[in-house]
Amino acid sequence: MLQPFSWQPGGVAVGALIDIAHRPGVHPHWLFHFPVAALDPALAAVRAGGGLVIGPFTLASGTRFAVCDDAQGAAFALLEAER
């Protein structure tokens, strides 16, 4: 289950917590996400820069996101801004 959080009650989500228990090969870690206006062009830019894209995925809310690694292997996520 994905649980978004913000710095202030009712504020803009700045991250999310998810239960990764029993997922082989996944260790506990922080995954920072960055909002983008349009996900598909942003993912194309990640790939063009030598990065890896896992997804995209759609949450129950309809929000689209993808987990990425940059060319140096640093993990991050891109979250499409709600329309």
- Domain ranges in the chain are 24-83
What mean pLDDT do residues 62-71 have?
Answer: 91
In this model, does residue 24 exceed pLDDT 80?
A: no
Of 48, 53, 49, 47, nearest in space to 78 by CA: 53
pLDDT the model gives residue 83: 60
Using CA atoms, how far residue 12 sits from 34, 64, 83, in Å, is: 12, 16, 15
Give the mean pLDDT of 7-31: 77
What is the value of pTM for the model shown? 0.71
Task: Give the C-alpha distances (Å, rounded to integers) separating 24 from 10, 15, 18, 60, 74.
Answer: 34, 23, 15, 24, 20
Question: What is the spatial order of strands in the sheet that 64-69 belongs to?
Answer: 33-36, 75-80, 64-69, 52-58
Predicted local confidence at residue 13, as pLDDT: 77
Q: What is the mean pLDDT of residues 21-36?
A: 79
* pLDDT at 65 exceeding the cut of 70: yes
What's the pLDDT score for residue 20?
A: 74
The CATH number that domain 24-83 falls under is 3.10.180.10
Q: How far apart are the first and last CA of the chain?
A: 23
Residue 82 pLDDT greater than 80, yes or no: no
